[in-house]
Structure 1
Amino acid sequence: MFTGSDEVAADVIKEAQAHSWSVPNDFAVIGFDNQPIAELLDPQITTINQSTTSIGFQAMDIMLSLIEKKSKRAERYYIAIGVNRKTIYLN
């Protein structure tokens, strides 16, 4: 299950445990935003880290390049965003 935040993922995990379901054995949970709660639970939440600082620096570099005419168009940049912890199995 993909949730919109780590807080919602935490609630899903707690509710699953209350019903004797095992995460990730019975189903996987992925949070979003890599909040501190993701590391506090057992199991720790697999989450998506937005890397807003890296995104901001890269956006500024691209903008300055375009303004200074060093580049005619923006290049593509890829930033690793996944944080694998314990709520999914990867094969």
Structure 2
Amino acid sequence: RREEKRREEKRKNRREEKRNKTRKVKTKKRREEKRREEKRREEKRREVKRQLKRMRRDWLRRKEKGGKMRQDQQKRNETRQKEKRKQ
């Protein structure tokens, strides 16, 4: 009987140890997966910020160029009108 009890105890202990090990491994994997997911999200945020900055910069450049082009066009039109009046 004592032997049987001892064997049973050993079995129980082994089972418990296995369970604990698997739990540990699973939690570790879960943690790693969460970390990876967070990194992905962070990278996406950074990419979106970069895109917004790029778009804004391009828009400002276009706006400046557009303003200059309009001014140049107005000057040309004025000079043409003056020439037409002289004729």
TM-score, length-scaled by structure 2: 0.28
Q: Which has the higher helix share?
A: 2
- Greater Cα radius of gyration, structure 1 or 2: 2
In proportion to residue count, which structure has more strand?
1
Structure-1-length-normalised TM-score: 0.27
